[in-house]
Amino acid sequence: MGSLGMSLSQRPQLGLSQNLKLSQIISRVNLSSIPISTLDDVMASIVENPSEAERIIKSSKTLAVDYLTNAVWGELEPNSSGQSGGGLNVPSSLWSFNSLVGDFDAEIQPDVVYSGREGMKPLICFASNLEPNLKLSQIQIPDSFPNAQKLYFSLVRSKNWTVSNLRNVYTFLGNSQREFISTLDPLRLNICDKNEVASELDLHPSSVFRLMRDKYVEVNSSDGESEIHPVDHLTATRDDLKRYSAVSKINPLLARENVDGAFSDKCLSNLTGVPRRTVTKYRGHLTGIPDMYARETAYAADPLKEFKIPYFSD
């Protein structure tokens, strides 16, 4: 599988009442946004050192499960020197952890690889962390560490639910977007927004949003091209398809400009049938491509210079 580096910025802590028991907190917090690899690491840490996990939980100022998961990760996971504590305190994509401070680089592994087949459903290969693991629920945490035990089994339940539903989401999207997967042509995407995914899989829309947060897929076309995409790219809306259609008409004209001369937005509009306001929006406001006069200057300095509007906005 390929990988993709990304930077995450600080996000707010999830606010929960502190006067609830841990078992109540566990039942209320949805952990589906936490990366599965992080759940695996934290569960392994609890199993290997339940007494330390119990101490961390008891000393925490809050019983929020996401906070506790981060606390266990930060104190039990070794840092680059091989010592526990003080190392990487923020696993990738932990959207609500209160210790998310500043930016950091995280390696993002695609959850699934789609291999396109012309006129057929794609082949789907899931990452190893999306394979069911029944052994997790069979592991015993001693009753003498009740808080560590509750946290562990809450993470097991969360992982099982997340794995099952993510596999269903990826399978549904792969079948719905088979034409795009086969060609990697955005114009072949079908309308399939998150609300439709939720309806088809009998999930709440908010659950689908959390499941898909910061998730990536690898797409291999039928002719051998390969790209990594945020899974959001497969949930195309009607507005997305309008953008892709407009971009497909504007880009060929931009590609000719270093020979024919730069076009004004009005001229691009007249030649493509795309409204002038839309041309200006995609050309300048969203992608930062300069106006006609600045592009002329750029071509004069570099005759091979080309400008291109990306199909996807992220």
Q: Dihedral, CA atoms, 63, 69, 70, 74, nearest 10 degrees?
A: 120
Q: Quick one: 153 and 246 in the same domain? A: no
122 located within any domain = no
| pLDDT tens-digit map of 155-182 | 888 888 889 999 999 999 999 999 999 9
Q: Is residue 258 part of a domain?
A: yes
The pLDDT of residue 120 is above 70: yes
**Judgement on whether residues 152 and 248 belong to the same structural domain of the protein:** no
- Asked if 178 contacts 120 with a C-beta cutoff of 8 angstroms, the reply is yes
* Distance in angstroms (rounded) separating the CA atoms of residues 184 and 182: 6
Residues 148 and 19 in one domain: yes
- Do the domain assignments include residue 59? yes
Domain count, the chain: 2
Residue whose structure tokens are 């069911």: 132
In a domain, residue 274? The reply is yes
Residue 153 lies in a domain: yes
* DSSP designation for 104: E
Q: How far apart are CA 143 and CA 307, in angstroms?
A: 64
Q: In whole angstroms, what is the distance from residue 31 CA to residue 151 CA? A: 12
| Within a domain: 201 | no
Q: What is the pTM of this model?
A: 0.74
Q: Give 60-79 as a DSSP string.
A: -S---HHHHHHHHHHHHSB-
Q: Identify whether residues 149 and 58 lie together within a single domain.
A: yes
Domain span at residue 277 reads: 239-301
Same domain, 292 and 153: no
Same domain, 152 and 254: no
Q: Looking at the structure, do residues 155 and 46 belong to the same domain, yes or no?
A: yes
CA distances in angstroms from 260 to 8, 257, 299, 309, listed in the order given: 42, 5, 11, 18
pLDDT digits (tens, 9 = 90+) for 63-103: 666 666 666 655 554 444 444 433 333 333 333 323 322 33
Distances (CA, A) of 254 to 33, 149, 245, 283, 296: 40, 61, 15, 10, 11
pLDDT reported for residue 37: 73
The domain boundary, picked from 96, 129, 160, lies at 160
Q: How far is CA 187 from CA 78, 82, 191, 216, 259, in A?
A: 47, 49, 11, 20, 27
